[in-house]
Amino acid sequence: MKFFIDTANLEQIREAAGFGILDGVTTNPSLMAKEGIIEQSTRIKEICAITPTPVSAEVLATDTEPMIEEGIKLSGLAPNVVVKIPMTINGLLATKVLSGRGIKVNVTLIFSAVQALLAAKAGAAYVSPFVGRLDDTGVNGLQVVEEILTIMDNYDFETEVIVASVRHTQHVAGAAIIGADICTIPFAVIKQLSGHPLTDKGLAAFLADHAKIAAH
């Protein structure tokens, strides 16, 4: 499973890239706003300068033609930019046009298997089901992801499934267990992945034993 980081923070991206596990970056208007960014083009270029991996940049338009125009501009910022389009009828139309031009599209705000199927048929390179937000409504988000994966496998779609809206390490583990292609993870959760209380306890014991021997 590929690990993407879900952020617009340059330091977080640099640090995650330094771990040697980073396969891509996803951003959105909310993450940009968190960094105080209004015009995202410069930040997207800065991110792409850090990593050659896929970088998802989201359009702000909601009508089809403006989405297409904005998507073309975003894709021109760097070769590794993936245009993020919301799951709407207008979004599907824009996805069809952009993918037809050879521009990779990540259809976001997916909350059902049928939405993912429509996006794949429109030519999406990626679909992003939001597991955390589904869990918030009482729906098992990872179960929806599993349904999407089954559909993609049934019909040999090349569309990759990005597990998004990740809240904790169990979302990451669950995504890997069911065979998701990608998990896009907040930096705080990435840092939690390598930790475990028993690891800390075991390391402390090793160091204590070594200190005893060294003292003699």
Domain that includes residue 147, residue range: 2-215
* The pLDDT of residue 213: 74
CATH at residue 111 = 3.20.20.70
- Residues (pLDDT < 70) of the chain are 202-203, 205-210, 212, 216
- Strands 160-163 and 24-26, bridge-based pairing: unpaired
> What's the predicted TM-score (pTM) here?
0.93
Six token digits for residue 28 = 């959105």
Q: What is d(CA 16, CA 5) in angstroms, rounded to the nearest whole number?
A: 8
Q: What is d(CA 173, CA 89) in angstroms, rounded to the nearest whole number?
A: 33
* The pLDDT of residue 188: 97
DSSP string, 72-93: HHHHTS-TTEEEEEESSHHHHH
Residues with Cβ within 8 Å of 43's Cβ and at least 6 positions away in sequence, in order, are 8, 10, 27, 32, 35, 37
Which one from 45, 73, 84, 96 is the annotated catalytic residue?
84
Q: Which helix (H) or strand (E) holds 114?
A: helix 113-121
In the chain, how many domains are there?
1
Instruction: Please list the helix, strand and coil fractions of the chain in percent, rounded to the nearest 5, in that order.
Output: 50, 20, 30
* The pLDDT of residue 210: 57
- Residues 65-109: tens digit of each pLDDT: 999 999 999 999 999 999 999 999 999 999 999 999 999 999 999
| Catalytic annotation present for 84 | yes
